[in-house]
Amino acid sequence: MTDLILHHYDASPFTQRVLRMLGIKGLEWRSVTTPMMPPKDDLLALTGGYRGTPVLQIGADVYIDSQRIARELETRYPQPSLFPDGNAGITYAAVKWADAFFRAGLHMAIGATSTLWPAEFRQDRQGLFPDIDFDGVDLAHARSQMLAHAGFIEQQLADGRAFLSGGAPGLIDIHAWTVPWFTRASVPGVNELFAPFTRMQAWEERVAALGEGRRVECTASAAFESARASRPLACSVSGHEAETLQAGRLVEVTPDDTRRGAVRGRLVALDWNEIGVAREHAQCGAVVVHFPRLGYRVTPLD
Ligand SMILES: N[C@@H](CCC(=O)N[C@@H](CS)C(=O)NCC(=O)O)C(=O)O
């Protein structure tokens, strides 16, 4: 039975990113479906407070955020690579471009459809994105941003290449693809907006066809059992911040963009793009929760 356990719901564009990574690598994985909004007691028992999706669990190691998950999958399963052109650094950095594209799509979705969402869900999402005025979205601007981002994709495909970095699919395709994926399906006007981008549309189909590897359904209690039966991998604290963020310090890790929840634990892993905290819960036992540095704030508490 595979050790890869994804805690997620399929409607999430960030989940879709990870599914396509699993597709490129052809991996078997276990699926634990989480609710789209609280209460999410099982997920919080595992993460210690992070409510977002997706979360990848491998034994007693818990990986937060699609970018951290990409790094772990690439390390453990290097072939086929998520970087077929070898450009790993710039591709990881492009997550911030993909997030800007996502934000444009999110603004369009909120402006065009959020008054139709169930009141409880709308209220939850307002709390999650406190920087967005749900009643005052500038739709014309959001459309212009969507067009600009989609235009870059069309331009990149202009020489007839199958994928953004050449003939093989990679993380850059996954980053870019989730926005057309979720907006075409749910936001009125997007198909018309993207109509001139015919190369992009054909590319979207190729990325969708990467699939999701092999999904095996799983329960939260089986996932807890897998954590309890395992020990976290050895990790280390390194880098110049070791002077202020020493191993063993109690820290809080919080996403710096949306309110997906804070996690407290003892610092066990640190470098320029890694934070790992050790924590325990009766259901999962001792785990290490790993975050990327990009997009996450670490605050010492002792
Ligand atoms: N940077 C994160 C973003 C994850 C994210 O914002 N996911 C959304 C779903 S698309 C979420 O967590 N929403 C709140 C929830 O599911 O409770 C990642 O790449 O994983």
Say if strands 214-217 and 28-33 run parallel, antiparallel, or are unpaired.
Answer: parallel
SS3 192: helix
Atom 10 in ligand 1: which residue has the minimum CA distance? Answer: 12
For the chain, the domain total comes to 2
The pLDDT profile of the chain, 302 residues, written as one tens digit per residue, is 789 999 999 999 999 999 999 999 999 999 999 999 999 999 999 999 999 999 999 999 999 999 999 999 999 999 999 999 999 999 999 999 999 999 999 999 999 999 999 999 999 999 999 999 999 999 999 999 999 999 999 999 999 999 999 999 999 999 999 999 999 999 999 999 999 999 999 999 999 999 999 999 999 999 999 999 999 999 999 988 878 899 999 999 999 999 999 999 999 999 999 999 999 999 999 999 999 999 999 999 99
**Domain housing 95:** 88-208
pLDDT of the residue at 22: 98
On whether the pTM is more than 0.85, the answer is: yes
Which amino acid residue places its CA nearest to atom 19 of ligand 1?
A: 66
Both 183 and 106 in one domain: the answer is yes
- From 175, 208, 241, the end of a domain falls on 208
| Torsion of the alpha carbons at 265, 253, 6 and 213, rounded to the nearest 10 | -130
Q: Of all atoms in ligand 1, which is nearest to the CA of residue 34?
A: 16
The reply to whether 200 and 219 lie within a common domain is: no
Taking residue 243's Cβ as centre, other Cβ atoms within 10 Å add up to 7
Q: Is 87 exposed, middle or buried (0-12, 13-18, 19+ CB in 10 A)?
A: middle
The answer, yes or no, to whether any atom of ligand 1 lies below 6 A from the CB of 52, is yes
Same domain? 199 vs 103:
yes
Q: Verify that 199 and 94 share a domain, yes or no.
A: yes
Q: How far apart are CA 24 and CA 265, in angstroms?
A: 33
Do 204 and 92 share a structural domain? Answer: yes
Domain stop point among 208, 241, 266: 208
- In this structure, what CATH number is given to the domain that contains residue 140? 1.20.1050.10
Is residue 35 domain-shared with residue 184, that is, in the same domain?
no
How far apart are alpha carbons 9 and 31 in whole angstroms? 9
Is there a single domain that holds both residue 55 and residue 110? no
Q: What angle do CA 169, 274, 249 make, to 5 degrees?
A: 165
Last residue of a domain, one of 208, 226, 261: 208
For ligand 1, is residue 258 a contact (CB within 6 Å)? yes
Instruction: Give distance in angstroms: CA of 43 to centre of ligand 1.
Output: 13
Per-residue model confidence (pLDDT) at position 240: 82
CB of 44 within 6 A of ligand 1: the answer is no
Whether 232 is in the pocket of ligand 1, judged by its Cβ within 6 Å, is: no
Pair (158, 264) in one structural domain: no
Residues 140 and 197 in one domain: yes
Same domain, yes or no, for 75 and 16? yes
Atom of ligand 1 nearest to the CA of 52: 12
